[in-house]
Copies of this chain bind each other. A is one copy, B any other.
Amino acid sequence: MLIAYQGVPGAYSEMAARRLFPGCKTLPCETFDEVFAAVEKRKADRGVVPVENSLGGSIHHNYDLLARHALTVTRETYLRVEHALMALPGTRLQNLRAVISHPQALAQCSDFFARHPQTKAVAWYDTAGAARSLAENASLPHDAVRVGALASEAAAEIYGLKILKKKVQNRTDNYTRFLCVARAAEKLPLEGPFKTSLTLVPARNRAGVLHAITGVFAARGIDLTKIESRPDPDNAFDYRFYLDAVGSAKASPLKDALRDLKPLTRELRVLGSYAKAALPRKGRS
């Protein structure tokens, strides 16, 4: 099983791929677009992409790619994002002059930089890429022995770096949700709970149509675990909705609800049904 992801080895997306497919091989891609293309063109069996972060929100670009490509969502998982501070063996924390990482990771560790004013936060393309640049001594802002990187603990192992400090991030409630995309649906487990992701554009945008749509689910006792509207900049009165409903699209009651939604929508697409993953709790990963 070969799983495409965006980033370099040690990326959080790669960790999500390994959690979903233990023992899988992984295919690093430069962009999310390449992940979808790799699956579509059979260069990879599956792709794993982040779709929302608890602090940052939904990653609309990946929802756009889901809408644009004829792939199916087959799995989901949540990953707690925990940054480790790593450096070349022999480097001591008090000698660090710069720490490189993705700007979001640097921002998530701002308390560390406030406590260590002699250490500058330097933006890098991505987290695991920063660990790799440090290991390869590639265009670093200082001598390599004065530079650290913030990335996953897995990245430290891959690039032979020593972890100086674990869980450097300010907040523990930072997690990312990943979806797995495939060319065809996977066989669902025998037992649920399941979840189904949908995207739809209401038939007409007037007060009441959203209520009619939520009513289709409520009437059949179906829980919605996500609802999100997104304005369409080309049509100021059009909204696209992303919904996650509990259940499988192939079985009642969700199957019936989808049929009832048809007359209420201009566009309705089932992105896929999959086993419902548990949300991570505080203090667990």
CA separation between A124 and B123, bound complex, in Å?
6
Instruction: Tell me, yes or no, whether A207 is within 8 Å of chain B by CB.
Output: yes
Sample of 19 more A-B contacts, CB < 8 Å, known A55-B61, A215-B215: A31-B107, A52-B57, A53-B60, A56-B56, A57-B58, A102-B103, A103-B123, A139-B141, A173-B233, A173-B234, A207-B222, A207-B223, A210-B224, A211-B215, A214-B214, A233-B280, A233-B281, A236-B278, A236-B281
CA distance A215 to B210 in the complex (A): 9
With A58-B58, A123-B123, A217-B211 already in contact, the answer to whether A282 and B234 are too (CB < 8 A) is yes
Question: A-B pairs with the 9 shortest C-beta distances?
Answer: A211-B218, A57-B58, A57-B57, A211-B214, A123-B123, A208-B218, A236-B279, A207-B223, A173-B233
8 Å CB contact of A56 from B54, B60, B102, B211: B60
Please, what's the 1-or-0 string for A126-159, where 1 marks a CB less than 8 Å from any CB in chain B? 0000000000000101000000000000000000
Q: Which residues of B contact A207 (CB under 8 A)?
A: 217-218, 221-224
- Kindly state the separation between the CA atoms of A228 and B236 in the bound complex, as whole angstroms: 18
Q: Is A226 an interface residue (CB 8 A)?
A: yes
With contact pairs A210-B224, A211-B215, A233-B175 given, residues A125 and B141 touching in the complex (Cβ less than 8 Å): no
Q: Can you tell how many copies of this chain the complex includes?
A: 2
Provide the residues of chain B in CB contact with A59, threshold 8 Å: 56-57
- Distance between A51 CB and nearest chain B CB, rounded to angstroms: 9
A residues 198-212 near B (Cβ < 8 Å) are 206-208, 210-212
- The SS class assigned to the A binding surface is mixed
In the complex, A53→B208 CA distance in Å? Answer: 26
Question: Which residue on B lies nearest to A78, using beta carbons?
Answer: B233
Name A146-181 residues within 8 Å CB distance of B: 173, 175
Once the chains bind, are A110 and B31 in contact (CB under 8 Å)? yes
Complex CA distance for A55 and B110, rounded to whole angstroms: 25
Query: Nearest-CB distance from A259 to chain B (Å)?
Result: 18
Q: Assuming the A-B contacts A54-B60, A61-B56, A211-B214, are A226 and B229 also in contact, with contact meaning beta carbons closer than 8 angstroms in the complex?
A: yes
- Is A252 in contact with chain B by the CB < 8 A criterion? no
- The docked-state distance in angstroms from the alpha carbon of A123 to that of B129 is 12
> A56 contacts which chain B residues (CB < 8 A)?
56-57, 59-61
Q: How far is the CA of A61 from the CA of B228 in the complex (A)?
A: 17
The docked-state distance in angstroms from the alpha carbon of A198 to that of B244 is 22
> Is A70 part of the contact surface with B, judged by Cβ < 8 Å?
no
A279: chain B residues at CB < 8 Å are 231, 233, 236
